[in-house]
């Protein structure tokens, strides 16, 4: 089977591929991790796509279409505000929703689309979600106040973002249909959701329903990327059309098998506890045994539960990949018992 056929088997048919599960990395490596591996023998300045090739990972392509233009001012402090008012938003809009952020991927999309059918790789379109984007502008603390202090402005931002994301979908889908639309949100932490269901329903859900219906009509499968413990959010997502979640952080208590058992039509990606990786083969094999029942569902793509940290040596990462290949093949073996 091709990489794309394996993805389609899981994402669209919810069945285990005939030969093996995808062997991939969804959330690529920290800069510090790459620097470490370069010091340990990996060729320098490969870039993410060539690092995939270096390790023999399945090819896939991600297009991240940011709503922030290259000229958008940075906040004065980490997670600080870029704006404080409707007037500020009007002034910063000239730095937002730039067509060139979409256009930069069209050439790559055309190259992928022109390949022979069996050689096409899976494609993901990543966009800012409707919790993430206002936070980028208000900053973390002011964003929480904005739900109460300036609800009209919050809706205005998300209406603008909705149209921009739909434009991104249209332009890329004119060339090829991405397999996944993934909304970047980070609306949960280790104890659960960062907002109430009431606030979600008022400020986020209306835009989810419109964008997700638009993407699914095009043939895309919709995921949400949110860190921390996302399990309490899954019913909210499902009722608004979301089909899967990532990255399923184990340190926050997330259990991929529990999710897939509780929601039998849902998809998951990520889930491998990155904290097992520096501990060596025995710890990593134990972690694969933990998630193996989920791998057998046909609704789960294994990947590290967030970016691989710099505490992981290149030797241990290669052990992880060897075990990943072993368990991805084992999950697809005929009559394999859980």
Q: Does residue 219 carry a pLDDT above 90? A: yes
How do strand 188-189 and strand 123-128 relate by DSSP bridges? unpaired
Residue 322 within a domain: no
Residue 190 within a domain: yes
Crossing angle for the helix pair 314-332 and 281-295, to the nearest 10 degrees: 30
CATH code, domain carrying 216:
3.20.20.210
CA distance 164 to 215: 13
Q: Does residue 4 carry a pLDDT above 90? A: yes
Look up residue 134 and give its two tokens: 């206002």
Residue 337 within a domain: no
Query: pTM, whole model, 2 decimals?
Result: 0.95
The arithmetic mean of pLDDT across residues 316-335, rounded, is 94
CA distance 317 to 276: 11
Q: Does residue 41 carry a pLDDT above 80? A: yes
Q: How many domains does the chain have?
A: 1
- Give the model's pLDDT for residue 146: 97
Residue 61 within a domain: no
How do strand 188-189 and strand 192-193 relate by DSSP bridges? antiparallel
pLDDT tens column, 244-266 = 999 999 999 999 999 999 999 99
Residue 52 within a domain: no
- Give the model's pLDDT for residue 119: 77
CA distance 14 to 302: 14
Residue 14 within a domain: no
CA distance 175 to 297: 32
pLDDT tens column, 174-213 = 999 999 999 999 999 999 999 999 999 999 999 999 999 9
- Give the model's pLDDT for residue 197: 97
Q: Does residue 147 carry a pLDDT above 50? A: yes
What's phi and psi for 124, nearest 5 deg? -120, 135
- Give the model's pLDDT for residue 58: 96
CA distance 309 to 232: 26
pLDDT tens column, 283-315 = 999 999 999 999 999 999 999 998 999 999 999
Banded pLDDT at 115 (limits 50, 70, 90): confident
Top pLDDT among 119 and 260 is at 260
Q: Does residue 117 carry a pLDDT above 90? A: no
CA distance 320 to 280: 9
Residue 333 within a domain: no
Mean pLDDT score across all residues of the chain: 96
Q: Which long-range contacts (CB under 8 A, 24 or more apart) does 33-42 make?
A: 33/307, 33/308, 33/309, 33/310, 33/312, 35/310, 36/310, 36/312, 36/313, 36/314, 37/314, 37/317, 40/313, 40/314, 40/315, 41/314, 42/314
- Give the model's pLDDT for residue 120: 82
- Give the model's pLDDT for residue 116: 78
The residue to which tokens 């104890």 are assigned: 191
Q: Does residue 338 carry a pLDDT above 80? A: no
CA distance 194 to 203: 13
Q: Does residue 335 carry a pLDDT above 80? A: no
SS3 state of residue 69: coil
Domain of residue 135, residue span: 66-246
Residue 200 within a domain: yes
Run of H or E residues at 271: strand 267-272
Run of H or E residues at 193: strand 192-193
């Amino acid at each position: 089977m091709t990489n794309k056929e394996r993805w389609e088997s899981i994402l669209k048919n919810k069945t285990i591929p005939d030969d093996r599960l995808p062997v991939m990395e969804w959330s690529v490596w920290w800069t510090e991790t790459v620097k470490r591996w370069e010091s340990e023998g990996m060729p320098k300045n490969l870039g993410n796509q060539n690092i995939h090739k270096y390790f023999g990972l399945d090819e896939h392509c991600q297009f991240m279409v940011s709503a922030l233009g290259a000229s958008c001012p940075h906040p004065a402090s980490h997670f600080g505000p870029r704006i404080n008012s409707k007037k500020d938003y009007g002034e910063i809009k000239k730095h937002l929703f730039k067509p060139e952020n979409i256009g930069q991927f069209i050439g790559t999309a055309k190259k992928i689309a022109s390949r022979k059918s069996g050689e096409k790789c899976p494609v993901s379109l990543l966009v800012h979600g409707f919790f993430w984007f206002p936070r980028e502008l208000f900053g973390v603390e002011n964003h929480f106040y904005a739900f109460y202090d300036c609800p009209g402005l919050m809706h205005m931002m998300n209406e603008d973002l909705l149209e921009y994301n739909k434009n991104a979908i249209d332009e890329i889908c004119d060339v090829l249909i991405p397999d996944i639309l993934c909304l970047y949100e980070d609306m949960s932490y280790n104890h659960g959701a960062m907002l109430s269901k009431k606030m979600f329903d008022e400020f986020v859900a209306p835009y989810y329903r419109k964008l997700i219906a638009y993407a699914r009509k095009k043939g895309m499968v919709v995921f949400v990327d949110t860190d921390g413990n996302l399990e309490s959010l899954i019913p909210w997502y499902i009722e608004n059309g979301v089909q899967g979640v990532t990255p399923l952080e184990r340190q926050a208590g997330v259990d991929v098998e529990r999710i897939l058992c509780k929601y039998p039509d849902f998809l998951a990606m990520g889930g491998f506890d990155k904290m097992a990786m520096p501990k060596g083969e025995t710890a990593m094999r134990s972690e694969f045994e933990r998630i193996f029942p989920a791998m057998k569902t046909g609704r789960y793509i294994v990947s590290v539960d967030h970016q691989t940290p710099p505490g992981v040596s290149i030797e241990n990462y290669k052990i992880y990949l060897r075990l990943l290949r072993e368990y991805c093949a084992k999950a697809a073996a005929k009559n394999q018992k859980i």
